[in-house]
Each structure stands twice: as C-alpha cells, then as structure tokens.
Amino acid sequence: GYTGRLCDEEINYCQSQPCWNNGICRSSTSGYTCECPAAFIGKQCEKDNIDNCDANSCTEYGYCQDNIDSATCICETPSYEQPRCTRKADLCDGFCSQHGRCETFGSVRALCICEPDYTGKKCDTEINKCMNSSCQNGATCSSTEGIQACACRDGYEGSICQHVIDECRSKPCENDGICTGSVGKYTCKCMSGFKGFIDECESFPCQHGGTCSDRANDYSCSCKDGWEGKSCEQSVSYCNDTVCNAGACVSLIDNYFCRCGLGVTGQNCEQSPNVCDIISPCTSTGTCMNIGGTAECQCKEGYSGTLCESLIDPCSTLNTGYCLNGGTCKDGESEVVCQCRDPYVGDKCQARKGNFI
C-alpha cells in the first residue's frame, strides 16, 4: 500500500481509473473499491444490473432474454418472429391440421375451424363417437374416422342393433312344423310323425377361436380380437394411409404401431423433431436453442463463437492501463495477472524494485 524511498508515500490505486461505467474509485492501503451507479455491479462496475425485460418486451408466444444493454425475445415456434415474437404475415401457414380450416383475426391471432368429427386447438384430435353411443341391446361400439359402427350381439340386427332377428323368417321348420322364435334361437313344433333338429355349428365353421351360434339354416361367428368375416377367416387391418402420417404402419392382432422417421415421435408420428435433439452442435460450454427450426448455441459466461468453442480473453474486457508502468495483462487460471517490465513489481506493476525497506 506504500511506495517511495522511505515507504512513506501511499500508492494511489485509482490512478489507472479501474472503475468502469462512471464508477467512483476509492483507494486505500490494501487496494481500491468502486462505488457503482445504480445500473451496474461488479468489482469494476463492469456488469449490467438493469433488467431490460419488461411486460411489453415479448408477446405470450416467446420469453425474454436479458442482455447487457438490450433484451432479446426467444420465440416458441417458427410461426412467430422477432423482435417481439409476433405472428408472421401468413398466420395460417402450418397452423391447422388437415382436418381444420384456418381463419385469422386481426394480424396476431389465428383460429382453426374443425371438421365435424375433429376437435382440438389444431383440429388434430378425432372425436370418439362411442362416448355417447347409440348402439342398443348390448352391442359393441367402434369409431373409425368419425363414423360409429355397432357390432350386434347374436339375435339382433339393424344399424344400431335395434331389431330382434326373426329367427323364423327363413322358415327353418320342415314338413309343416310350427316355428317359435326368440332372441338368437328358434324351436320347431313338429307335426305328428316328424322330429329332428339340425345344428349348423356341428361342423365347427368358425376359425381362429371364434364362437359359433346356431341359427335357422345358418350360423354366426363371434370372432376373437384381430379377426373378422363370416367364419372369422380374415385378419383385421388397423392400418390406413394416414394413421401414421409419414411413418410406416405395422398391423398387429388387435392394434397397430407406427415406425417413425429420424427425430419424429408420438404414437402416430405426429410430433416434429427438435433440431437440437438431432444434431446438437454446441460444445459443452453452450446450450443448443431451437430458433425457427435452426440450431443456435447460447454460450455460458466467458465463452463465445458459433459453437461456444472460444474462451473470451478476460484482458480484453478491462480498461487500457489496467497494468501500470508498461505491464502486460495475461489470463491466469482464476484471474488476470500483470506481467511487469523490469524493474517494476506488484499485482499491477505499481511498485519499483528496491523501494522497500
């Protein structure tokens, strides 16, 4: 803290004007301190202390990133653009699914008008018609592309299984026998001298584990999951041209699954990839950000470069003259150091050799 021939002169650590941004320097025997304006902090008042983000910086479709003298809006999707993450000129570009019609309101809002059988913000959710099923008499409801279908129990027919089948309609009783029908079956009261009953299920016509029900001169099969047809001879295909979007559909016995392309996810390959999940170009000192479908690196403090690969020289951020008497600023392991010219010494080359007692 002292210099001079007799070490009676107090060193003025403020001589090099170390305080930035109009900070006031206070010198003492142990060094200096900076009294910073309200907008700055740090040992040399080098850090911005103002939150440049405010309620009006970004719309609800982005979040604000505070910089030293400015703020940047990081937008959620490519449909929005800087500086405030407002909608692009064509608000409807890719906004709705193929089952919705886009309509705009003003210049910042769009709405999807859905087809009758679809719902959701983007009209991408099919309405399950079976939630309020009209199927009757214990029938099983299925919904495909918004169309309800009723699978009737034995003995019933009709679009919603509302009719009891007249088992006597085909006149199964021979030789003037009298037919009496009920749900799913019939009985014959034979004339004198006649008897007998033909079981159509005796030949086991139902395949793949289907259950046979005898009818008048006919039979019906209740098929296990994954099979259909008169005798349960056909496998059910759960795939169509659109169920997996751009993925490949694989039909299972009672379901299906989609093989999606690189980066695409979701049960039906409906979720687009995050470019950062595919390439992730940033080094360990940067964070990948998906900006408008392009990967950009947000660097940690002290690093720069397109991939955050460059370490910032801390000497470049200090005022000229930080090192006194012709000293050279060098980047140390944890702080900057001054490499002094002979005969000067000290952490800032502020003292001459031999001026100590």
pLDDT tens, residue by residue, 216-251:
667 899 998 878 899 999 888 878 888 888 888 888
Q: How many domains does the chain have?
A: 3
Q: pLDDT tens digit string along 187-198?
A: 888 888 777 776
Report if residue 209 sits inside a domain: no
The answer as to whether 100 is a domain residue is yes
C-alpha 177/C-alpha 180 separation (Å) is: 10
- Higher pLDDT: 356 or 198? It is 198
d(CA 329, CA 354): 23
pLDDT tens column, 267-296: 888 877 777 877 778 888 899 988 866 788
* CB neighbour burial string for 121-130, b if at least 16 within 10 angstroms, e if fewer: ebbbebbebe
Residues 256 and 308 in one domain: yes
How high is the pLDDT of residue 17? 92
Q: Is residue 335 part of a domain?
A: yes
Q: Which of 76, 110, 134 is the last residue of a domain?
A: 134
The answer to the question of residue 341 being in a domain is yes
- CA–CA dist 29, 3 (Å, integer): 11
Confidence label for 52 from pLDDT (cuts 50, 70 and 90): confident
CA end-to-end span of the chain, whole Å?
13
The CATH number linked to 114 is 2.10.25.10
Task: With respect to residue 116, please indicate whether it lies within any of the assigned structural domains.
Answer: yes
Helices (H), the chain: 275-278
Q: Is residue 56 part of a domain?
A: no
Which structural domain, as residue segments, surrounds residue 258?
Answer: 248-312
Residue 3 is which amino acid? T
Residue 276 lies in a domain: yes
